[in-house]
Structure 1
Amino acid sequence: MSKKVVIYTSNTCTYCDLAKEYFNANSISYEEKNTSDPVFRKELLALGVRSVPTIFVDEEYMVGFDEGSFEELYNK
């Protein structure tokens, strides 16, 4: 079963770029929501989160990015 991955990003976020590079290198499909778009910024703030990257895997999420934490979340 395929998992839905959504990443909230910003234009100046280095860790966002690292996460997207990791997803691409590992053939992980994802949807990017850049918070420079007010709609996506509001979505993120409604969750009480103010940091990017925020990465959703199905209904669970993590703030920030490191490969080990992401793999743990993705492989649940």
Structure 2
Amino acid sequence: MEIKIFIRPTDPWSQKLKELLKKKKLSFLEFDLSESSESVVFRDEVLQNTGQIAVPVISIDNEWIVGFQEKKIEELLNKKSK
């Protein structure tokens, strides 16, 4: 299962998402969407796949969820782990 998260380090919802994944002992790739020149590529990926720029965003095997929607995230993780 490939998990990618797109966050801003200062965003509390981004931190909650990281805590949830760490609690579940899941490995994930983390992309910082802060205002830096290198984050433009990551922002473009989020925009292409979700139609918006927001944080946090999680991609689980290329299925995308915008925002910290814990129930949806849990459902998708359960579905993908079977």
TM-score under structure 2 length normalisation: 0.79
Partner of 2:41: 39
Question: Partner of 2:53: helix, strand, or coil?
Answer: coil
Q: Which string of whole-angstrom CA distances, capped at 9 and with x for unpartnered residues, describes residues 32-57 of structure 1?
A: 11112222122222332211111011
Q: Pick which of 36-45 and 19-28 moved more.
A: 36-45
TM-score under structure 1 length normalisation: 0.84
- How many aligned residue pairs are there? 74
Partner of 1:65: 68
AA of the residue aligned to 2:63: E
Q: Give the % identical residues.
A: 36
Question: Partner of 1:55: helix, strand, or coil?
Answer: strand
Listed as ranges, the gaps of 5+ residues in structure 2 are none
Instruction: Give me the CA root mean square deviation.
Output: 1.3
Q: How many Å separate the matches in 1 of 2:70 and 2:46?
A: 22
Listed as ranges, the gaps of 5+ residues in structure 1 are none
Structure holding more helix per residue: 2
Partner of 2:19: 21
